[in-house]
Structures are given as C-alpha cells and as structure tokens.
Structure 1
C-alpha cells in the first residue's frame, strides 16, 4: 500500500512530466499545424491548377478535332459541285481520301435532300435512300449552316455522331453529312488520364454520356449538370466544394464551383459509395457539351496524404521521445528531491536533538536540586544507622524499628531518584520518529513532572486542565515531548522574573485534539509575531537562546499533519494553540481511557 510520501512523489513526478511534455510539444504542435495548413492549402491549389491546365488543353484538343472534321466537310461542300456529290462513286473516292488522310476517322459520306432522303451514300452500311427527315441532327442542319450532332445509335444501331453542312443549289437546301468514328473520338477523350482513378468523359446538355467512361464512376450526370448550371436542389450531392458557401434556404448548402483558369472544379460525393471525387469541367461546342474530368480525392492528393501520414508519424515519434525524456528527467529530479528531503529530515532530527540537549541544559539546575533533596535524606538516614550501630558496639541495645524506618526512607528516596533519572533519560534518549497512538494527557503529565521543580523556583504555578477521553493521536512520543517542553520552557522564561500562572489545557473540537499552553508573562510584541517560528530568531539575551525552539515545534507539528498558532499581548501573556489530527476521530469515555491505559501499562 502506498504511503502519503509515495503518493506525493508520484504526483510530483506526474506533474513534472506533464509540464515538460506540454512545454516541449506545444511549440512543435503549433509549428506543425501552421506548416501543415500552409502545405495543405498550397498543395491543393497546385493539384487544382495542374489538373485544370490538363483539362483546358485537352478540351482545346477535342474542340480542334471537331472543328477540323467540320472544316473538312465544309471545304468539300465548297469545292465539289453538287452534281459530283450526287455521284456515289465520287463519294467513294472522296471517302477513301478522307480515311487515308485522317486514319479512318470518317466512317461514311452522304448527301441528303430537303425531304431528308439520302440520295447518295458512300460507306460500309446500306444507307442509300435512308430517311432522316425526323432526325434531330437533320432538322438542326436544315436551320443552320453546319452542325455537329450528339452521339446517338441511329439506323445502324451503333453509337456515332454526325458532322453536317448545308448546301444551297438553285434555292434548294441539301445536307452533306459524314459520320465520325466513335471509337477514335472516344479514344481522344480517354487520353486525358492522371493517377490511378482519373478519367474523362463528355456529357451533353441533356445529361447523356457522349463518350463511354472506362470505369464505373457512380456519378449521376444530372447532378453534375445541376452544379455546372448553378441549380440549387436538395438532390445535389456535392459537398466541400472549394469556394464561398451560398445557402439556398434548404437544409443542404450549395457551394459555387471554383475556377482554375478557364476550367471550374468542385468536390462530389458519390451517393452509393460516399467516395469523394474531384470534378473538373469545361464546355465544348458552345456550351452544348461538357468535358468532365473525374478523379478520386485520395488519388489526386495521394502525396498530400502521404506527407500528412509521415508528419503524424514524426509527431508521434517526437511525442514518444519527449515523453521518454520527460519520464527520465522527472524520475531523476524526483530522486534528487527525495534525497534532499531525506537529508533535510536527518538535519531536522539533528536540530531536534540539539534543541533537546539545550532543553536538558535548562532543566539541569532544577533536576540537580530535585535529586539533591532525596540524596541528602538518604545520606542523613545512612548516618543515623551508622550512629545506631556504634551505640550497639558500646553495648547498647539496637533499635531495630528505627533501623527499619531509616532503610525504608532510604529505599523511598532511592526510588524517587530513580524515577527522576528515568524521566530525564527517557527525554534525553535519541528521538524515535516512529509514529504510534499516544494519549496526549499522559504525555503532558510526564513533561510537567520534569519541569515542576524549575517552575517552583521561578514562582510559577502550573495548572493542568486535561479533558478526559480525548482521542488518541498518531505521533512520535519523543517529538511531541520536545514540542511541549519547548513551549513550557519558553513560558517559564517569560515568567522568570515575575512569576505567574502556566495553564495547560486539552480539548477535542471538530475532529482535532487541541492543546493550549498559556502563560501570564511579558507577552510578544506584535512586530515579532510573524517571525517567531523562523529559525534562529530569538529575543533572548546572547547565550541564553538559540532561536531554534519554536522552529522545531512548528516543523514537528506540521509533520504530524497539524498546525500551531499563537495569540499574544504585551503585558498580558501568550497562548500557543497546538492542533493535532486525532487517531481515530472518536472521543473515548473516561472508562475506556482507563482501560486502555491499563492495557498499555501491561
């Protein structure tokens, strides 16, 4: 079981460790937090700028690809007469040239009249006389000089899109059309790749995929378009988008995308998997198509997360190093404190012993006189016996009863001397700091017995007001004897010239045993009261006092867990109050006190 000292030193060690760790880690944490935030912000902007530049260049490349194909068809319509374009064989020759030049990007060529009937066709499908009157691309081509359609299946059942140019001949509109190879176009879009999860795709204005994503994304195209168009709805899933929050009055915040050059971006949470994606986009075909680039955040910011993990590992190792250092230093400091406390305790014991010897010196005169009286009686009785023996030698009868009386008197006075010397030796014995349960009243009676003779010489009347049944107190008896003797000797010194009354009172209040030592001496000036417990402070003449008595008393009482206070007035007297914690907190009855004293004597 841990003692109070062990708990104190353990608490001290923990406090030292906490202070060292706090002082060491706070600057490190602050520095890493600031640097981490700066690096995090800079890295995110760097990634956004890099991916934005990639998307912008790729969008330009795609737009260039589409415009080149449209330019080829427009050039063909401008150069070749309509009669030539109505010749299927001529279209076959032109298609062969286009496929050789553009590596098969153009799939077929066809000429459609104003009714939507394809009158001439060159290509791998049987689409001569095909009806396109209801096709959206044909209707758009009839109303505009040229058009690029969305991706659709059409009559051939395969995804493709049309590049068409309107041709006027004799007031009648014709449409020259060509199918662009979807695989080639899709490959161009897929060339935009970064990391492990980055991919690009195109969505039209209706939220339909125009190119096929190479992996399942889980994104909802309509949701992406809502963000692009600035629509605010509870069905919008993007969260943590870079930029300023704009509340739409609903429970979900909508965040405006942030521009990275001409490319905007935001973060999107996949509804099914809750995966976080970075989404970059730019418009194509004058806003009719949108090129989207999507990449998982953990992939895009892989280096950032790795740096963060490395930073946390360094922080953990630093914290471990600081903790080990704090443990070692606190252990070393506490060991040194323990050593100093032990040395201080030994010094205190030596001071107490020195104080005890000084007290013995003050008692010497009274003890010597008290022993001198019984010794004188013993010598007188021994001389009387010797006279009786001489009378017997002269023939007179021996008075046996008188001899017995003298021997009894010698025995009584010898026992008295033995008792005095026993008390003196008991007090002079080296202090035993062992704590035990002590009856304070009995201890006071023993100390008073030592000073009674000196008190009589000084004309001091000692009165004891000892309350019966006060609890026993856990203390070192010899140390408490020292406290009481110092206070009584100081009181006797204060009344040495004038005599007076010394009242010693015991009582039990609020769980504490209280001992009052009150004299009617000269009193202590108010200016000296704050210093009376300081070591080596004394108002006695040089050579009469060491100034250690009250300091020793204060140290002993505080070590017992108690307190000592003083009230004094010049010309009235001084009263010292000793407050001691009781051993069991229970007041004994007089009968219980007597029974315990009997057991102790046994």
Structure 2
C-alpha cells in the first residue's frame, strides 16, 4: 500500500477512536461525577448525623447520670440535719444506703462546716478534719447551694470530682460532700466508641481534660475548628468540625455541651475511619469505571479498526470497479469498431459473390469448350460458397454487436445453439477445443430474446474455451426438456472452480482471471438476463475435472405448440 494512503487510513482510525472514546466518556464522566458528588454529599451528611446523634445521646446520658447523683446527695442533705449527719455512724449509714442503691459510684461522704473543715467523714480514706477552705469546689459552694466540681486530684492525689450540697447561711452554713467514682464515670464517657479510632473525653470551659483519651497522643489534637464540616440543626449545641494532630492526621470532631455548658463532651474519630465505607465504595466504583473505560477504549479501537479496514476494502473495490469500467468501455469501443469493420467487409464480400456468379454464368455461356472449364467452375463455386460463409459470419457478428433486443421471439433451441457454435468455431480450433453437441431436435420452441440468449451462450462458451487453454479439451453443449423446462447445458473438461469461489461467481466484478483478462461482469450479466427471462442458471464444478453450467428456461403452454407447427408448415 502507498505510504500516503496508509498514513491517511491510520489517521482515520485514530480520529474515529478518539471520537468514539470522547463521545462515550463525556456523558459517562458527567453523569458519574454528578452521581459521585451526590453520593459523597449524602453519605457525609449521613455520617455527620449519625455521629451527632450518638454524641448527643451520650451527652444526655452523662447529664442524667450527674443529675441523678446530685439529686441523691440533695435528698440525703434535706432528709437529715447537720447534727445527725455530723455523727460518723449516721453518715456511714447514709453512705451504705447510697452504695446499695447505686453501687460503688459514691466513694465517700463528708460533712464540711462553714470554715471548710470536714467535721464528719465516711469512706475508705482518713480525711476526718481535712481542710477544704482553699479548694475551688468549696469556694464555689459558697455561691451555689448545689455544685458539681471539675475533676481534680486533691488530698488523695488521684483524679475525682465532688458533688456538694450546702444549706444554711453565715456561720451556720454547712455542706454535704460526695466523691464520685472516677473510673465508673470515665467508663461512661469512654464507652462512646465507633469504628477503630473513635474516642470521647470531657473538657471543662478552660479546656482542661476532665477525662483522658485512651491514647495519650490524642491530647495533641486541636479543638479550635479548622474547618466546619457540618451542622445538625435538630440537635441544640452539637457542632461538627475538622481537627488535626501534630502528625497531620485529620479527625472528625463532634462536641456537645454537658453540665449546663460548663463541660463539653468531645468525640473524635479519624476521617479515614469515619468515611472508610464510603472510601471503599468509591474505590470499587472507580475500579468498575476504569474497567468500563478500558472496555470502551478497546472496543473503540477494534470498531474503528474494523471500519477503517472496511473503508479500505471499499476503496480498493471502487478502484477495481473504476478500472473494470474503463476496461468495459474499451471492450464496448472494440465491439463498435468490430461491428463497423464487419459492416465494411460485408459489402466487398457481397460484390465478390455477385461477381463470382456472373463469371460462372459467362463460363456456362461461352467457356464450355475450355479445357479447364470444370476446374474453373469448381473454383467459382468454392468462391461463392466461402463468400456466402463470410457474409453469414459478418451478419452474425453484426447481430451480436448491435444493442441487445429484449423482445421475446419464438426460436428453436438446437438451431440457436448451432449458430453460436459456428461463431465460436474458429476460436475453439486455436484453443484445441472440440465441440460435442447433444441436441434434442424434438424439443418444443421457446419464447426468448435471441440477442440476449446469444450473449449468454457466447459468454459461457468463451469462458469454457479460455479455461481449457492452452492444453485444449472437450466442450459439450446439449439441450433437452427437464421437468417441463428447456434445459441447456454447457460443460467443459477444464481445471474446474474451487468450492470457495462457487458461491461468488455470479457476483458483479468477481473474477479469477488475471488483471486485464476479465472484467468480472460476464457471469453477473448472464445471471441477470436468465432471471429476467423467468429462468434459472446454476453451476456444478469439480477441481481437476471440469465445470458444468445449466440454464433452465420456461416453455410456452402446450396449447400453443400445434399452432406453432402449423404456422411452420404453412410457411
């Protein structure tokens, strides 16, 4: 193939591939991007809503826990007098009652006077007479009758917080103090755990930890909102934002107020953990998208390549058709030239025949006494015979070269075959082909176009003669009735036609002859002519043994046959 044509086909294939890929991917990316964005937005809102609801519920549980414990201490304070509770035995009895009802959540009880000295104590530590005058919780208790302190270590040097209830005024003011089990409280907070990295803790209003995260590294997290992630309008006070640690890991942070806003419940979870299901789904979707995209690319390449190959074949067929049309035009021109030559030859041949007759008449009148009279008469007769033969040949050639007359006329098939054989006899002699005729003289006449049928038979005969060149062979032509139809057979002893080509020999421009030896139109025209006459043409061939064409044409109804014979006798 010419390099420029190959390059143009490659460019066409590339452009087709790019067009198909672009047209396929554009809506896919657009729709996929919209779906992806919507999925991410919906899933993110779902995660935020779930985390906010969980944190809000646990904040409510912690508030309920603190409120219940405060209520219990208030109940003990209101149902007992200072003198009664100041007795260690009565205070110990009150502590046992509270522990029986709530378990070991209440660690100890103490009664503190207005100066901050603990005048009565019940619990596991030796804190009788302890001075709390400088403790923050005691100073706060002077301003409020009921307080819950921040977590601190105090005299016992371990984290705890105090619930205190105060009564009285001035010097008569006294306070009932209860210590809450810090481990139980911490478990209540740390019980909030979602996923693998979620954890919770409590901060006071100054940002001091009231409970510790499970992982000490989490103390490095920033609580200042770096980026607001979401809001939950139905949950008052709950906010969601993004935090980062010193290592740069992003966390989803959810906060909710507890203890009247003095504390803040904080829940944090790594963003990668919180959105792990979404990430997995996105990865699976991306994988499917990539596989689908790869399939689109492969199909685009294959389809474009197939189309280009098809275009290439069409172009080649078009080029071949153009060449064959040119060759056909040449053949038509040669045919017209041959017709003109035959017409010009016909005139001198006719004069030659007339002159030979005239000389023959002269010889009969005046040359009877010549010694060579008999020989001259024989020569004149031969000249006349050969001249009439030339005239007959030129007449048939003119008949074939003229435009085909499609008007149907009645004809005798055996006689018609003999005329075709006479036209082809000279070509057969040069090709060393012998004719073998098997004609049924009794078969009825048929109605067909003589010129078109002559064209068909001449084409089949010429093809057979050319197939047997140069070795020669035998060409058998026969006619007979076959199942009510007139059957004409043309069989040769040539090389035969391969089975792979039998189904295509009637296709236009299909030929197995070398370039310049055939146009591929002959058998196609024959097929069209026979079918236009209402007949059929088929072929049988065996490689190495020869080929046999069979033409079947309709025969006029029997009612017309006697009339035809009477017309023949009358003529």
Q: Smaller-chain TM-score range? A: 0.5 to 0.7
**Conservation of the 8 A alpha-carbon contact between 1:52 and 1:263:** no
CA separation of 1:13 and 1:260: change in aligned 2, threshold 3 A: farther
1:332 aligned to 306, 310, 329, which one?
306
Corresponding position: 1:159 with 2:159: yes
Give 1:309's aligned residue: 283
* Match runs of 1:238-253 below 5 Å: 238-239=226-227, 241-242=228-229
CA separation of 1:355 and 1:269: change in aligned 2, threshold 3 A: farther
Give the gaps of 5 or more residues in structure 1. 228-237, 244-256, 365-602
* Match runs of 1:50-449 below 5 Å: 50-168=50-168, 172-218=172-218, 220=220, 223-224=222-223, 226-227=224-225, 238-239=226-227, 241-242=228-229, 259=233, 261-351=235-325
Secondary structure at the residue paired with 2:241?
Answer: strand
> 1:217 & 1:266 partners in 2: Cα distance?
21
**Conservation of the 8 A alpha-carbon contact between 2:114 and 2:170:** no
> 2:52 & 2:38 partners in 1: Cα distance?
21
> 1:2 & 1:103 partners in 2: Cα distance?
98
Q: Which moved more, 1:130-139 or 1:86-95?
A: 86-95
Q: Scaled by the length of structure 1, what TM-score is found?
A: 0.53
Cα deviation, 1:365-405, whole Å, max 9, x if unaligned, reads xxxxxxxxxxxxxxxxxxxxxxxxxxxxxxxxxxxxxxxxx
Cα deviation, 1:218-270, whole Å, max 9, x if unaligned, reads 3546x42x44xxxxxxxxxx13x236xxxxxxxxxxxxx66562253333242
> 2:147 & 2:202 partners in 1: Cα distance?
17
* Match runs of 1:4-15 below 5 Å: 4-15=4-15
> 2:125 & 2:327 partners in 1: Cα distance?
122
> 2:27 & 2:185 partners in 1: Cα distance?
56
Secondary structure at the residue paired with 1:143?
Answer: coil
* Match runs of 1:431-510 below 5 Å: none
> 1:260 & 1:345 partners in 2: Cα distance?
78
Secondary structure at the residue paired with 1:192?
Answer: coil
Q: Shift of residue 133 of structure 1?
A: 0.5
> 2:217 & 2:49 partners in 1: Cα distance?
23
Which structure has the larger Rg? 2
Secondary structure at the residue paired with 1:175?
Answer: strand
Give 2:370's aligned residue: none
**Conservation of the 8 A alpha-carbon contact between 1:267 and 1:276:** no
> 1:309 & 1:185 partners in 2: Cα distance?
41
Q: Shift of residue 321 of structure 1?
A: 1.4
**Conservation of the 8 A alpha-carbon contact between 1:263 and 1:280:** no
**Conservation of the 8 A alpha-carbon contact between 1:242 and 1:266:** yes
Cα deviation, 1:52-80, whole Å, max 9, x if unaligned, reads 11111111100000011111111111001
Cα deviation, 1:179-236, whole Å, max 9, x if unaligned, reads 0000000001111111111111100011111111112453546x42x44xxxxxxxxx
**Conservation of the 8 A alpha-carbon contact between 2:84 and 2:90:** yes
**Conservation of the 8 A alpha-carbon contact between 1:48 and 1:260:** no
**Conservation of the 8 A alpha-carbon contact between 1:242 and 1:258:** no
> 1:203 & 1:32 partners in 2: Cα distance?
43
> 1:362 & 1:281 partners in 2: Cα distance?
104
**Conservation of the 8 A alpha-carbon contact between 2:166 and 2:176:** yes
> 1:121 & 1:269 partners in 2: Cα distance?
45
**Conservation of the 8 A alpha-carbon contact between 1:109 and 1:178:** yes
Give 1:26's aligned residue: 26
Secondary structure at the residue paired with 2:142?
Answer: helix
Cα deviation, 1:116-165, whole Å, max 9, x if unaligned, reads 11111111111111111111000001111110000001010000000001
Q: CA RMSD in A?
A: 2.6
**Conservation of the 8 A alpha-carbon contact between 1:150 and 1:204:** yes
Q: Scaled by the length of structure 2, what TM-score is found?
A: 0.56
How many residue pairs were aligned?
338
> 1:28 & 1:145 partners in 2: Cα distance?
68
Give the gaps of 5 or more residues in structure 2. 339-571
Cα deviation, 1:27-59, whole Å, max 9, x if unaligned, reads 222222111211111111111111111111111
CA separation of 1:34 and 1:219: change in aligned 2, threshold 3 A: farther
Q: Shift of residue 358 of structure 1?
A: 9.6
